[in-house]
Amino acid sequence: LGLAGDLRTAFDDGELEVYYQPKVTLRDRRLVGVECLARWEHPTQGAVTPEDFVAVAEHTGQLDRLTEFVLREGLRRSRDWALGGHALAVAVNLSARTLIDPHFPDRVRELLNEYDVPAQLLTLEITEAGVLDGTDRPIPTLRRLRDLGVRLSVDDFGTGNSSLAHLRRLPVNEVKVDRSFVQGMATDPGDLAIVNAVVTLSQQFGLAVVAEGVESELTLELLQDIGCEIGQGFLFSRPLPYERLEAWFGAQV
């Protein structure tokens, strides 16, 4: 596959970039953090989707490099914001196989030290399917990350076949309700019921809940009625290059 070699060059030539999507309070749209999302603009093929290049990275031994690149970018921005007087929480997506890498927690600890960012400002997002793979293999890594003080979030929640009961046994801090349910909740009573159930139970377990894929004012109102506190979606902002994120944030205050 041509993309494999191209990805190697992409790292060296700066074709990879990180975009930042705001997470906001649903009550007053205050910025509470950003999700880091990798982007690759291929010189001839144009934008390659993250699904595609994450798969290429996994199959060509470049996954650690990709993850470290995104972590470094996010931590650098977080540190810069702290120097400017604001704490910026950053969230980075992990692949399932990173969760079974016994060296990963040490790498995270080293990077937090290098960038001098408090662990509490870093959230690692793991998909429900990745963390609940039917085995307990990811749990030691999750525990070690938690012991560092890093926050853990279960992404795309509701799409896997794990139960809310299983969620309670995981050492995680946050649940992100999958955007398919959030997008459907204004028109489909079943989706509304699912979002309601996930939000209510997560709160009873002491977990933060983020609704992803908030695209309309009506959805926002429904989420407020349910008591969901944090959201992310095109209604607030698309993922943005760092300079535009700063402008977006500047316009808020």
Total interface residues for ligand G by CB under 6 A: 23
Task: Choose among 33, 28, 198: nearest CA to 128.
Answer: 198
Binding to ligand G, residues 163-192 (CB under 6 A):
179
Q: Assess 37 for contact with ligand G (CB under 6 A).
A: yes
Among 10, 31, 38, 194, indicate the residue that binds ligand G (CB under 6 A). 38
**95 token code pair:** 């692949």
Where do we find the tokens 């535009």?
244
HEC assignment per residue over 177-246: ECHHHHHHCCCCHHHHHHHHHHHHHHHHCCCEEEEECCCCHHHHHHHHHHCCCEEECCCCCCCECHHHHH
Which CB sits closer to ligand G, 158 or 170? Answer: 158
Contact map string, positions 100 to 139, toward ligand G, x by CB under 6 A: ----------------------------------------
Choices 3-11, 48-56, 146-154, 187-195 (CB under 6 A): range interacting with ligand G: 48-56
Q: Assess 158 for contact with ligand G (CB under 6 A).
A: no
Among 34, 40, 233, 240, indicate the residue that binds ligand G (CB under 6 A). 233
Q: Find the shortest distance in angstroms from Cβ 93 to Na ion.
A: 5
Residue 95, helix vs strand vs coil = coil
Choices 8-16, 24-32, 82-90, 92-100 (CB under 6 A): range interacting with ligand G: 92-100
**Residue type at position 54:** V
Q: Find the shortest distance in angstroms from Cβ 248 to Na ion.
A: 19
**Residue type at position 251:** A
Q: Say how many CA atoms lie within 13 Å of 77 toward its Cβ.
A: 24
Which CB sits closer to Na ion, 125 or 191? Answer: 125
Which CB sits closer to ligand G, 12 or 85? Answer: 12
Positive/negative CA dihedral, 52, 56, 59, 61:
negative
Q: Assess 155 for contact with Na ion (CB under 5 A).
A: yes
Given Mn ion, Na ion, ligand G, none, residue 70, with its beta carbon under 5 to 8 Å by kind, binds ligand G
| Main-chain dihedrals φ then ψ at residue 73, nearest 5 degrees | -60, -45
